[in-house]
Amino acid sequence: MSIYSENLEKKRIAEDNLRRKFSLLDDLKKVVPWRMEIESRDSKSALKAMTCMTFSIEKDSNLRVVKAPDSGMPGWKGFNVCNSVFLCAICSSRERAERANRLKRCIAQHELNGGIVLMMTLTAPHTRDDGLKLTRGALKSASRSLGDSKIFRRLRIESGLIGVVRAWEETFAHANGWHPHSHQLLFLDAGIDAGHLRGQIFKVWKKLCLKNGLMKPEEFTRESDGSLKGLGVNIQEGNAVANYLMKSEELETRSQSEGLAYELTAGDQKIGKKGSFLPFDILRLAAKDIDLKKRGLPAQNAWALPVFLEYVEATFGTRMVTGLTALEGKLEVQQTVEEVDQEREEYEASLLVLAVFDRFKVKEIVHLKLRFEVLAWLGKDMSQKEVEDIINRMIAKSDIPIKQFEKVLL
């Protein structure tokens, strides 16, 4: 493949990913009103996510479409954001990328210092009747106890364990329900036999699972190729970590440190294993059923809506990644406020402004769900006038008055 063709393919992938994220944001806006009917506290975070990217936060109320020199796609500058890593595909992608870059710096610095990084995955058996909130809470409690156990105290002394970065992820399958699990990066100063360590940790993990009301985990599972894989506790090192779970073409071009970083933080880009669903998969199915209901048609995946709402409730007020800030301090890679401000100023100075839309045109763009399309059009060298002409023609044909939509926002 030529460099030109490769660049075109990367641009196409970037467009597809961005289109999917905006589509998921629109799907969330369909599902959230159903969440609000339950009147629980988690509806507040869902409501905030529902209003993400609907109005300008700039002083002049205008919104800009900008493009970085090294970026394949333009982006919006000035929209309000919800910062929800669990519910909003747009904010989740941005927050995860920022954390992945921070983690990548930590891994690179630690390896430069002569250290090694292992990835440990912790799981426990579950059934279709086990609620996500209780199972997730029990696993977190067991994980905290594991970090305070004798074996981890010994790791700090004998192997120079300087920090652990923990991330939580959930998948769903019809057979066994929700499957919460934790990926944890162990930053060690000295080499260690990963297989021996896994066996030691599993003995402790098994007891902690039972103590916290979870089912007894199995030590191994047999893969399709006949090999054995750690089940309750699995520890990986080297290139195996970079290629694990992150089933995307983008990962194949990453270095080992990048692979580790994105494995721990890029849950929004992963694809569920056969027979399992990630939260955003479930959101998409729930939104499709709501569309069918509005048209008077029977639901095709009636299970999706209550399952996604359970996820909304279980993740409310929780954190996806922990331990990263403390690790940055120990490795002395944490950026100062001045460095962050300077980096931001340099980045904003490099941006090319493709279009500036006033707040009235922004309302029309949001009303017609054209936030992605406007970026795509401008990215294909259409002028702002050409884009506005398209919007005006669509508004003229729209069966929902823009004033009716303004009442929702105002």
pLDDT 10s digits, 338-394:
888 888 888 888 899 999 999 889 989 998 999 999 999 998 889 999 999 999 988
Cα→Cα distances 138→125, 145, 180, Å = 12, 11, 10
Q: For residues 291 and 297, what is the distance between their CA atoms, to the nearest angstrom? A: 9
Whether 33 is covered by a domain: the verdict is no
Task: State the pLDDT at residue 256.
Answer: 46
Domain boundary among 310, 336, 362: 336
304, 336, 368 - which closes a domain: 336
* pLDDT, position 227: 55
119 shares its domain with 168: yes
Confidence check: pLDDT of 210 > 90: yes
Tell me whether residue 328 is in a domain: yes
| Lowest-confidence pick of 27-31, 169-173, 278-282, 370-374 | 27-31
Distance in angstroms (rounded) separating the CA atoms of residues 77 and 66: 7
Shared domain check, 322 and 368: no
Full residue range of the structural domain in which residue 139 is found: 82-271+318-336
Residues 149, 116 share a domain: yes
* The pLDDT of residue 223: 61
Any domain includes 15: no
Instruction: Please say whether the dihedral angle defined by the alpha carbons of residues 207, 208, 212 and 217, taken in this order, is positive or negative.
Output: negative
Reading the block at residue 11, the tokens are 């641009």
Report pLDDT digits (tens) over 95-121: 888 888 888 889 889 989 999 999 999
Vertex 114: Cα angle to 109 and 117 (nearest 5): 70
What residues are paired with 224 via a beta bridge?
none
β-pair partners for 234: 121
Question: Is 64 domain-assigned?
Answer: no
Evaluate whether 107 touches 99 at the Cβ level (below 8 Å): no
**Is residue 175 one of the residues assigned to a domain?**
yes
Residues 6+ apart with CB under 8 A from 168: 136, 140, 180, 181, 182, 318, 320
- Are 207 and 115 members of one domain? yes
**8 A C-beta contact, residue 266 and residue 159:** no
The average pLDDT across 223-249 equals: 57
| Residues 191 and 218 both lie in one domain | yes
217 CB contacts (<8 Å, ≥6 apart)? 123, 124, 125, 202, 205, 206, 209, 231, 232, 233
My answer on whether 143 and 239 are in the same domain is yes
284, 310, 336 - which closes a domain: 336
252 Cβ contact partners less than 8 Å away, ≥ 6 residues apart: none
Task: Note whether 126 and 205 are same-domain residues.
Answer: yes
Q: Identify the bridge partners of residue 64 per DSSP, sorted by sequence position.
A: 77, 356
Percentage of the chain lying above the pLDDT 70 cut = 80
87 is a domain residue:
yes
Query: What region, left, alpha or beta, does residue 62 occupy, with left being phi > 0 and alpha being psi -120 to 50 degrees?
Result: beta
- pLDDT at residue 7 in the model: 67
Neighbours of 188 (CB within 10 A): 21
322 and 403 assigned to the same domain: no
Indicate whether 49 belongs to any domain.
Answer: no
Rounded CA separation 21/90 (Å) = 6
What is residue 35's predicted lDDT score, i.e. its pLDDT? 56
Task: Give the model's confidence band at 249: pLDDT under 50 very low, under 70 low, under 90 confident, else very high.
Answer: very low
More confident residue, 261 or 197: 197
**Edge-to-edge strands of the sheet including 75-77?**
75-77, 63-67, 352-357
| C-alpha closest to that of 90 among 27, 30, 47 | 27
Cα distance between residue 184 and residue 197, in whole Å: 14
Q: Rounded to the nearest 5°, which phi and psi values hold at 86?
A: -95, -35
- Give me the mean pLDDT over the 231-249 stretch: 56
84-94 average pLDDT score: 90
Beta strands in 279-400 (DSSP E): 321-322, 352-357
Q: Tokens 């401000």 belong to which residue?
A: 341
157 pLDDT exceeds 50?
yes
Distance (Å, whole) CA 400 – CA 402: 6
Average pLDDT across the chain, whole number: 82
185-207 per-position pLDDT tens digit: 999 987 788 888 999 999 999 99
95 close to 268: Cβ distance less than 8 angstroms: no
> Could you tell me if 233 and 367 lie in one domain?
no
Q: Give the total number of structural domains in the chain.
A: 2
- In the Cβ-directed half-sphere of 330, how many Cα atoms lie within 13 Å? 19
User: Considering the domain boundaries, does residue 250 fall inside one?
Assistant: yes
Q: What is the pLDDT of residue 244?
A: 39
Tell me which of 241-250, 253-262, 399-408 is least confident: 241-250
pLDDT value at position 48?
78
The verdict on 260 and 172 lying in the same domain is yes
Ranking 57-66, 101-110, 242-251 by mean pLDDT, the lowest is 242-251
Specify whether 120 is located in the same domain as 201: yes
- The listed range with the strongest mean pLDDT (92-106, 222-236, 393-407) is 92-106
Task: Please indicate, yes or no, whether residues 368 and 266 belong to a single structural domain of this protein.
Answer: no
Which tops the pLDDT comparison, 316 or 65? 65
Q: What is the H or E stretch that residue 230 is in?
A: strand 228-230
Residue pointed to by tokens 């944890």:
184
C-alpha separations of 180 from 45, 163, 278, 287 in Å:
21, 22, 11, 23
